[in-house]
Structure 1
């Protein structure tokens, strides 16, 4: 009785490993509180610097900058909180791709943010018109405790 054994080499195993998967793009109107991992293509409608502190002359202390930017697509708009180097990329009229974005809650309303695990990339201008009538950051949410009986 002959038995056959199959062996896989290291090169065969590495070929079986899946590569990077394609991003699934989310529309602004699909965003919900407390969710993470969103990839969006949005246009910057406006940008407003709300905090700028620290000394630029000091080498070891980095200047902290925060800007609130209204971004959106054809389904709606939301406020994006840009930090430090992201502030320079978020100019009105620019189209950006936000990778691994998350929803933060600030005073009961949604804010879109990209932390150190995400990325903000400037891309070619998109051919959609931003729907400014549906601003998701104007919707107030309230945390409610549900008691199960």
Structure 2
């Protein structure tokens, strides 16, 4: 997969505590991709994270060889889709959303002109908002 940006949508930053811990950074930069549109090669390892901010379990995949985080998956959060770690790719576009902004460090400014969510993205998101998110 060269550049997984789905029509410029679905790219977001999550500041929840688990994503921060997992990435070792102030937030995790991810892109929403359809599982059917990607091929995972090699022997990635999976960690079942049951202590998530949203309260739903999340599979966190990482490289067996180097430990690099690869993606998150949860059929209860985004059925048929994955949150792919965008730091794995050369081209990093502007996000369409920031999630868990209540955990964003005070020294990081909100990204202008993007959707802002204090906690999780609501389950009932629809229309243009859902399209931007890649839902």
Normalised-by-shorter TM-score class = under 0.3
User: In proportion to residue count, which structure has more strand?
Assistant: 1
User: In proportion to residue count, which structure has more helix?
Assistant: 2
- TM, length-normalised to structure 1: 0.26
Flag the structure with larger Rg: 1
